[in-house]
Amino acid sequence: MKTALTIAGSDSGGGAGIQADLKTFSALGVFGMSAITAITAQNTVEVRSVQNIDLDMISDQIAAVFDDIGVDAVKIGMLGTSAIIKTVAKSLIKYKPEHVVLDPVMVSKGGHHLLERNAVAELNEMLLPLSSLVTPNIPEAEILSSRKINSEPDMYKACRDIMEKGPKAVLIKGGHLDGDPNDLFYDGKQFHLFKGERVETKNVHGTGCTLSSAIAAHLAKGESMLTAIGNAKDYITAAIAESLDIGQGHGPANHFHHFYEQVY
Ligand SMILES: Nc1ncnc2c1ncn2[C@@H]1O[C@H](COP(=O)(O)OP(=O)(O)OP(=O)(O)O)[C@@H](O)[C@H]1O
Ligand SMILES: Cc1ncc(CO)c(N)n1
């Protein structure tokens, strides 16, 4: 069986972070493993508190998985601090996984900072060069490219800027712009626009986590980058279309709607 490792934060509410990633891996038939970087007390409304995990514990979790089981693809989510970024970068340099999908998580939907503001330099310098694909949303792409993004043409310019930081490819998610949520891919040679159709719902908690872990799962199964992204885009669109109206805020994407239909 193919395996995927998520290096990310825990969301007690189950909609984002490690929990979203493991649900996605399972739904796509890949064996999911985790290295937890931080624990958040979180629900559909807010992040109440955050506890970062000790650096040694983070690198031990990663080493335990690589030394024994092996990893076909890595997904990286919330990293919290520049010290955690450095720790994860060191592990990636040691184990050299073939596929690394980096979701540069910075701020939660409710506005809570999940990455120290001064850690962006480390993200750029240490992790982007180790990534097969980096998947910023619009605000994250603005920070990584130091450029305002108000339209699709701006996304093309930001893709070029972000590629200069050294990832093998970039996918800017268009969900935060008006209109249909189209995501723009660039690998330094070709652009590809992955077109979406906007689902009118507030239940979009964890959609970025889900998209990046779905890409990692499809890469783990041996698909090419463009095929993996296309399949992951179909997966997140269906998971948003069937998203769950639980909690008072942004409800989560639904990974198992076929199964849930039977048990409602
Ligand atoms: N309302 C929507 N309908 C359909 N697709 C959407 C919608 N909103 C976002 N998407 C798509 O979902 C994926 C995730 O994008 P989004 O911009 O929501 O990520 P994000 O902001 O990083 O999410 P989060 O921080 O909650 O994890 C992208 O493919 C995007 O185009
Ligand atoms: C733990 C965690 N990771 C990522 C996100 C994405 O917004 C979140 N809300 N929480």
Contact 168, 185 (CB under 8 A): no
Alpha-carbon distance values, 154 to 70, 120, 142 (Å): 39, 21, 10
Contact 21, 6 (CB under 8 A): yes
Place of tokens 């937890």: 36
Tell how far the Cα of 5 is from the centroid of ligand 1, in angstroms.
22
The answer to whether the CB of 204 is under 6 A from ligand 1 is yes
The predicted pLDDT at position 110 comes to 85
Tell how far the Cα of 209 is from the centroid of ligand 1, in angstroms.
9
Residue nearest to atom 11 of ligand 1 (CA): 175
**Domain CATH for 166:** 3.40.1190.20
Tell how far the Cα of 103 is from the centroid of ligand 1, in angstroms.
12
pTM of the predicted model as reported, rounded to 2 decimal places: 0.97
The answer to whether the CB of 198 is under 6 A from ligand 1 is yes
Inside any domain, residue 114: yes
Inside any domain, residue 213: yes
The burial of 203, by beta-carbon neighbours within 10 Å (0-12 exposed, 13-18 middle, 19 or more buried), is given as buried
Among the atoms of ligand 2, which is closest to the Cα of residue 109?
7
Inside any domain, residue 29: yes
Instruction: Give the ligand at the shortest distance from the Cα of 45.
Output: 2
Inside any domain, residue 264: no
* Per-residue model confidence as pLDDT tens for the chain (264 residues): 999 999 999 999 999 999 999 999 999 999 999 999 999 999 999 999 999 999 999 999 999 999 999 999 999 999 999 999 999 999 999 999 999 999 999 998 888 999 998 999 999 999 999 999 999 999 999 999 999 999 999 999 999 999 999 999 999 999 999 989 999 999 999 999 999 999 999 999 999 999 999 999 999 999 999 999 999 999 999 999 999 999 999 999 999 877 766 554
Residue 25 structural domain? 3-257
The answer to whether the CB of 109 is under 6 A from ligand 1 is yes
Number of domains within the chain: 1
Sequential DSSP letters for the chain: --EEEEEEEEETTSSSHHHHHHHHHHHTT-EEEEEEEEEEEE-SS-EEEEEEPPHHHHHHHHHHHHHHT--SEEEE---BSHHHHHHHHHHHHHH--S-EEE----B-TTS-BSB-GGGHHHIIIIIGGG-SEE---HHHHHHHHTS---SHHHHHHHHHHHHTT--S-EEE--TTSSSS--EEEE-SS-EEEE-------S--BTHHHHHHHHHHHHHHTT--HHHHHHHHHHHHHHHHHT----SSS-PBP-S-HHHHHHH-
Residue nearest to atom 9 of ligand 2 (CA): 108
Q: Which of 47, 78, 101, 207 to mutate to test the pocket of ligand 2 (most atoms within 8 A of CB)?
A: 78
The predicted pLDDT at position 251 comes to 95
